[in-house]
Chains A and B, each alone.
Chain A
Amino acid sequence: MLVTLQKSIYSIEAIRNTVYWFSKNFEILISEQSDVFELSCVEFSEKNKKEFIQSLNDFSLREQINIETKDVKNLVVSKAFYPDLVKFKDIGEFDDPINILKRNGN
Chain B
Amino acid sequence: MEINTIRKEFRKFQKLQFYDDLESNSFSLLPFNFKRLNSGRQLIISMVGDYLIVPKGTVENLLKKNIDNIDEDLYYDLLSNHIVSDSKDVKSLELLANRYRAKKTNAFNFAQLHIFVITLRCEHTCQYCQVSRVSQNKEKFDFSHLNLYKGINLMLASPEKNITMEFQGGEALLAFDLIKDAISYTKDKARLVNKKINYVICTNLAPINDEILEYCKLEKILVSCSLDGHEELHNENRKRPGRNSYSLVEKGLNLSFDIVGRENVSALMTTTTLSLEHPIKIIDEYRKFGFNSVFLRPISPYGFATKNKNSNYQTIEFIKFYSKGLDYILELNRKGEYFKETYTAILLKKILTAFSENYVDLMSPSGLINSVIVYDYDGKIFLSDEARMLAQMKDFTFQIGTVNDSWKKLLNNPIIEKIGDAGVNDYMAGCSTCAYNIYCGADPVLHHATQGDMYGFRPDSSFCQRNMSVLDIIFEKIDTEPDALDIFKSWVNNE
A69 x B90 contact (CB < 8 A): no
Identify which of B31, B91, B96, B458 contacts A65 (C-beta below 8 A).
B31
Identify which of B30, B91, B98, B101 contacts A72 (C-beta below 8 A).
B30
A89 at the interface (CB under 8 A from B): yes
B433 x A81 contact (CB < 8 A): no
A2 at the interface (CB under 8 A from B): no
A100 x B9 contact (CB < 8 A): yes
Which residue in chain A gives the minimum CB-CB distance to B98? A80
Interface window among B32-40, B371-379, B404-412: B32-40
Identify which of B10, B60, B101 contacts A83 (C-beta below 8 A).
B101
B47 at the interface (CB under 8 A from A): yes
Bound form: Cα–Cα A17–B432 in Å: 10
B36 x A58 contact (CB < 8 A): yes
Determine the chain A residues whose CB is within 8 A of the CB of B100 once the complex forms.
76-77, 80
Identify which of B14, B34, B429, B430 contacts A61 (C-beta below 8 A).
B34
A72 x B93 contact (CB < 8 A): yes
B459 x A69 contact (CB < 8 A): no
Determine the chain B residues whose CB is within 8 A of the CB of A58 once the complex forms.
34-36
A61 x B59 contact (CB < 8 A): yes
Which residue in chain A gives the minimum CB-CB distance to B18? A98
- State which residues 216-248 of B face A: CB under 8 Å: none
Type the 1/0 row for B182-218, where 1 means its CB is closer than 8 Å to any CB of A. 0000000000000000000000000000000000000
Bound form: Cα–Cα A22–B10 in Å: 52
Which residue in chain A gives the minimum CB-CB distance to B48? A76
- State which residues 26-77 of B face A: CB under 8 Å: 28-36, 47, 59-60, 63
Type the 1/0 row for A37-62, where 1 means its CB is closer than 8 Å to any CB of B. 00000000000000000000011011
Identify which of A22, A76, A94, A95 contacts B31 (C-beta below 8 A).
A76
Within the complex, the shortest CB–CB distance from B154 to chain A, in Å, comes to 27
- State which residues 9-31 of B face A: CB under 8 Å: 9-10, 14, 28-31
B459 x A65 contact (CB < 8 A): no
Bin the interface of chain A by size.
20 to 34
Within the complex, the shortest CB–CB distance from A97 to chain B, in Å, comes to 6
A23 x B33 contact (CB < 8 A): no
Identify which of B6, B33, B101, B107 contacts A101 (C-beta below 8 A).
B6
Identify which of B14, B30, B60, B429 contacts A69 (C-beta below 8 A).
B30
Bound form: Cα–Cα A83–B429 in Å: 28
A80 x B31 contact (CB < 8 A): no
Bound form: Cα–Cα A64–B61 in Å: 12
| Contact A69-B29, Cβ < 8 Å, known A23-B459, A88-B94 | yes
Identify which of B30, B93, B433 contacts A62 (C-beta below 8 A).
B433
Identify which of A22, A81, A97 contacts B101 (C-beta below 8 A).
A81
B33 x A62 contact (CB < 8 A): yes
Within the complex, the shortest CB–CB distance from B193 to chain A, in Å, comes to 28
Using a CB–CB cutoff of 8 Å, the interface residues on chain A facing chain B are: 17, 20-24, 58-59, 61-62, 64-66, 68-70, 72-73, 75-77, 79-81, 83, 88-89, 94-95, 97-98, 100-101, 104
**19 A/B residue pairs, CB under 8 Å, sorted by A:** A17-B433, A20-B458, A23-B459, A58-B36, A62-B34, A65-B29, A65-B63, A69-B32, A76-B96, A79-B94, A79-B97, A81-B104, A88-B93, A88-B94, A95-B91, A97-B91, A98-B10, A98-B14, A100-B9
Using a CB–CB cutoff of 8 Å, the interface residues on chain B facing chain A are: 6, 9-10, 14, 28-36, 47, 59-60, 63, 87, 89-94, 96-98, 100-101, 104, 107, 426, 429-430, 433, 457-460
14 other A-B residue contacts (CB within 8 Å) besides A21-B459, A58-B34, A75-B90: A20-B430, A20-B458, A61-B34, A65-B34, A68-B28, A72-B31, A73-B47, A76-B96, A80-B104, A81-B107, A89-B91, A95-B94, A98-B10, A100-B9
